[in-house]
Structure 1
Amino acid sequence: MSLRAFFSAVVGGLVLLTVVSASLLVVLTSALEGMASTLSESVEGVRLAEELEVDLLVHSRLIAAPDMPLVADPSRGRSPSEIESDLHRQLGELHASASTGEERQVLAEVERDVADYLGAQRGLSEAQRSSSSYDGRVVATLDAALRSLERLIQINVDQAQEARAQASRWSERANLLGLVLGLLLLTTLVLVVFWLRRFALRPVADLQHAMRDFGAGRNRDSRAPEEGPSEIRDMALTFNEMADSLAHQQEQQLAFLAGVAHDLRNPLSALKLSTALTSPGRADVTPERMQRTLALVRRQVERLDRMVGDLLDATRIQAGKLELQPEVRDTRELARSVVELYQSSDPGHTLELVVPDAAVLVRADPARLEQVLTNLVSNALKYSPSGSHVRVAVLEDADHAVVAVSDQGIGMSPEELKGLFVPFQRAGNAKQRAPGVGLGLSVSRRIIEAHGGRIEVESQPGQGSVFRVHLARVSDSAPRLPAASDEEEPAGGEGPGAVH
């Protein structure tokens, strides 16, 4: 599981838990609000029913004994007619507060009994109202009304007690639910902390330890365990790949230093031997031998200069300090100068130059472009058997100038082509055929890429190779500096075509 998925699941669970808790809180609040409303209505119903009872009793007393004073007059100085008006008002308020069918049914009986009582009171004469033998019908209707009101009061009391019991049950449920949610949240936090410590923090600590050991140089074989969340596994994998790459580069550097030391020792040994042969104390040094020795010295010095130049160029490229001085030049002229250089110094191969009649202009650093072409032609000569044919052709299309160098040499396999432009790497057969440090092609490719071009290679073992340099063309109207070949054309030159 990845950290993103884990935290998404944790956040989703917490959000779900919060939503459930909020929903349950809303339900609990609504239920308690309904119970509180029922309790309030029940209390109000009890109050109105009791007031109605009191007013009925006061009304009956005022009608039966109007001259007898009351110890505490609940009527507050009201007349019987005003009390009757209050009775109707109270009945209306009881109707408004009735919430159940049973309550409304009993309330209807109360209304009927109160109406019967008031009707019985109106049917009595003045003498009958003031006589000691109060009419039994009035007493009976009053008792019926009071009993109906008692039933109504009991219904409201029962409703209040039921609401109170429900509120108590809901309170217990809320307490239990709060305890469960709290335990669930605490358990989730404990699991999150455990998972982070076990599956996230420990791999991070192992990765940090491995990086510290590797960076301090205490253990170059230190690698991070690839475990834990996918992000940490990817980090550990990246670190391990980087460590392997650095270790491989270190091995390559050591091999490169060993190769450079070996390749430098060969020309230095030749130079040392040459100087010994030409020492003044030797009497057998003939002019011819001296010329051969000087030619050997010149070749070894050129070899050393080329090796040092490649090393310096590789260093500048790695540091990002390769400087170019681009000019608009004719690719034919640059190719011709390189071919003429090797044609005069290498009689063992046949060099052919094929160029078009029209100028093929590019914007490039002429010295650097000659360096690339010189490297390609030199490799073609070194890795081709004596007497073979090397061809340098300048081609063009709508957008690019192409310089192709083809040989009939040893060729390369697809596996060898993959590491052809890697610094300090040389194919096995190339190491046996010619000395070198494996920087020429790498430097050449970086130079061409700095010009915005590219180098392509086609090769097969035993069938030779073709290197093609692609550079962007410029229009013929672009200003260009004159080359030596423009100022002075050699007499008797063959012009475009083959150079042997």
Structure 2
Amino acid sequence: MSLRAFFSTVVGGLVLLTIISATLLVVLTTALERMTSTLSESVEGVRQAEELEVDLLVHSRLLASPDTPMVADPSRGRTPPQLESDLRRQMVEMHAIASTDEERQTVTQVQQQVYAYLAAQHAPLGPSVSQAQHEATAMVSLDASLRSLERLIQINVDQAQEARQRATRWSETANLMGLVLGLLVLATLGLVVFWLGRFALRPVTALRSAMAGFGRGGRHLRAPEEGPSELRDMARTFNEMADSLTHQQEQQLAFLAGVAHDLRNPLSALKLSTALTGRGELTPERMQRTLSLVRRQVARLDRMVGDLLDATRIEAGKLELQPEVRDTRELARSVVELYQSNESGHALDLVMPDTPVLVRADPARLEQVLTNLVSNALKYSPSGSRVEVAVRGDAGHVVLAVTDQGIGMSPEDLQGLFIPFQRAGNAKQRAPGVGLGLSVSRRIIEAHGGRIEVESRPGQGSVFRVHLARVSSGPPEPSAPSDSEEEPGAEGSSAVH
């Protein structure tokens, strides 16, 4: 699991717990509010029922004797008519706050019985109805009203107790859910700490130790590729970097050994030449051969040192160019004439158009690239084979091609052809060198905004093509024929042998 997925899961779980907690809190608050309302209505119902009982008893006491004059309520100063008005109002209010069917039915029954009581109190006395009968009828209605009110009070008390029990159950449920949610949060935090410590911090510590040890010189140290995917990617990247640095160090050591070996060969030749000049009679022919050998070895040393200096300047970003508009035909001709004068034993041909092919480039650097390509073509071609240097151009591009009939290269060799200090196996056996010439040449051409392409097959030779932007000097020239169609000395081109 990746760190992103883990933290997304943890955050999602915490958000889910938060939503559940908020939902439970809303439900609990709503239930408690409803139960509080029920309790309030029950208390109000009990209060009104008891008040109605008191008013009925007071009214009955004030009207206990028909011969007694109507007096006011001693507690509130109300007269019997005012008490009757309050009784009717209270019954309407009791009916309005009744919340259950049983409570509403009981309130309706109380209203009927109270109205019957008041009707009996106000019924006129006649010859057939005695005072005792009148009072008995009123007392029966009064007792029935009081019993109904007691039942109404009991109903409200039962409702209040039930609401209280529900509130208690909800409170216990809320406490249990709160405890469960708290334990879940603690378990989630514990899981996060455990997971981070076991699967994240340990790989980070191992990676840090590997990096610190590698920096102190432990080139064999590698980080374990374990833990979250991000840390595995970091460890894999570090291991690849460590392998690359170790490989580069091995290449540098091999390069230093190769440089020492390649420098020793011309130095040994120079040492031998100087030793021979001090022995015996020095004839002109011998002097000429010795000087020729010295010149070749000095040129070889100069070229090796020049490649090293150029590689250093390029890596430091200090390669300086002095571009100017030059005819690539003249540059190619000077390189070909240089190697033709060395009597290398190869047929060196120059193919170029009759009109100028101008580029804006540093002539010394461009000549260095051509010299390197031609020198490689001669070194890796059998004696007597043909090497062709061609200059071609169209409206916007210039192509300098060097074609040989040498040993060629495999696709695997082509992949590392322009890597510094790297040489193909067959190239190491055929000619000495440090493996910088092609790398330096490519960087020089890229600094001019161009590119180098190569085509090669083992045993069939190679073709190196340098592509540069052309500087227009008039109407564009027609494109030259391809390599397969163009022959040395063909019409529209000149060949130098």
TM range (shorter): over 0.9
Q: Distance in 2 between matches of 1:126 and 1:180?
A: 77
Match of 1:444 in 2: 441
Q: For residues 126 and 342 of structure 1, what CA distance do their matches in structure 2 show?
A: 160
**For residues 135-154 of structure 1, what are the structure 2 equivalents within 5 Å?**
135-154=135-154
CA–CA separation in structure 1 for the residues paired with 2:415 and 2:398:
25
> How far apart, in 2, do the equivalents of 1:263 and 1:97 lie?
113
Deviates more, 1:374-383 or 1:446-455: 446-455
Per-residue deviation, residues 12-43 of structure 1 (Å, max 9, x unmatched): 00100111111111111111111111001100
What is the rounded CA distance, in whole Å, between the counterparts of 1:143 and 1:230 in structure 2?
86
Q: Which among 367, 386, 394 is matched to residue 364 of structure 2?
A: 367
Offset at 1:63? 2.1
Paired with 1:167 and 1:176, the residues of 2 have a C-alpha distance of: 14
Shift of 1:328: 2.1
Structure 2 contact 353–492 (Cα < 8 Å) conserved: no
In structure 2, C-alpha distance between the alignment counterparts of 1:477 and 1:46, rounded to whole Å:
115
Match of 1:273 in 2: 272
- Could you tell me the percent identity over the aligned residues? 77
1:79-98 CA-partner distances (Å, limit 9, x unpaired): 21111211121112112211
Verify: 1:230 aligned to 2:229, yes or no. yes
- Corresponding residue for residue 487 of structure 2: none
Is the Cα–Cα contact under 8 Å of residues 408 and 456 in structure 2 kept in the other structure? yes
* Preserved CA contact (<8 Å) 1:128 1:135: no
Return the offset for 1:125: 4.5
Distance across 1 between alignment mates of 2:138 and 2:421: 128
Q: Which residue of 2 aligns with 1:191?
A: 191
RMSD (Å) for aligned C-alpha atoms? 2.2
Q: Distance in 2 between matches of 1:375 and 1:39?
A: 103
The equivalent residue for 1:258 is 257
Separation in 1 of the partners of 2:272 and 2:342? 23
Partner of 1:344: 341
Report how far residue 336 of structure 1 moved: 1.6
String of CA shifts for 1:296-324, please: whole Å, max 9, x gaps.
Answer: 10111110000000001111111111111
| Corresponding residue of 2:417 | 420
Tell me the CA shift for residue 129 of structure 1.
12
State the match for 1:245 in structure 2.
244
Is the counterpart of residue 4 in structure 1 residue 29 in structure 2? no
Q: Which residue does 1:103 correspond to in 2?
A: 103
Contact 1:35/1:167 (<8 A) preserved:
yes
Tell me the equivalent position of 2:177: 177
* Contact map agreement 2:71 2:79 (CA 8 A) in 1: no
Structure 1 residues 43 and 127, CA, compared in 2 at 3 Å: closer, same or farther? Answer: farther
Structure 2, unmatched stretches of 5+, are 476-490
Cα contact 2:63–2:70 (8 A) shared by 1: no
Distance in 1, matches of 2:96 and 2:393, equals 104
CA deviations over 1:80-125 (Å, ceiling 9, x no partner): 1111211121112112211111111111101111111111111144
| Structure 2: distance between partners of 1:50 and 1:328 | 119
Matches within 5 A, 1:65-80: 65=65, 73-74=74-75, 76-80=76-80
Deviations 1:207-243 (A, max 9, x none): 11111111011x2211111111111111111111111
Give CA deviations for 1:28-85 in whole Å, capped at 9, x if unaligned.
1111111111001100111111111111111222222555989x833x1112111121
Distance of 2:282 and 2:126 partners within structure 1: 176
Secondary structure of 2:341's partner? helix
Contact 1:226 1:233 in 2 (8 A): yes
For 1:497, the aligned partner's letter is: S
- In the alignment, structure 1 segments of 5+ residues that lack a partner are 479-493
1:324 aligned residue: 321
Query: Is the aligned partner of 1:307 residue 2:308?
Result: no
| Match of residue 476, structure 1, among 473, 483, 495 | 473
Q: Which residue is 2:332 aligned to?
A: 335
How far the C-alpha of 1:333 sits from its partner, in A, is: 1.9
Q: Distance in 2 between matches of 1:496 and 1:395?
A: 10
**2:201 counterpart residue number:** 201
1:474 & 1:161 partners in 2: Cα distance? 104
Q: Which residue of structure 1 aligns with residue 51 of structure 2?
A: 51
Q: 2: CA distance between counterparts of 1:164 and 1:421?
A: 89
Tell me what 2:401 maps to. Answer: 404
Query: Which secondary structure state, in structure 1, belongs to the residue aligned with residue 282 of structure 2?
Result: coil
1:371-392 per-residue CA deviation (whole Å, 9 max, x = no partner) reads: 1111001101111111111111
Q: TM-score, normalised by structure 2?
A: 0.93
Residues 335-369 of structure 1 show CA distances to partners (whole Å, capped at 9, x for unaligned) of: 12211211222351111111123322222111111
CA offsets, 1:123-158, max 9 Å, x none?
A: 144999996876111111111111111111111100
Residue 481 of structure 1 is matched in structure 2 by none
Q: Distance in 1 between matches of 2:347 and 2:325?
A: 30
Kept in 2: contact 1:63–1:129 (CA 8 A): no
- Report the TM-score when normalising by structure 1: 0.92
Letter in 2 for 1:438: G
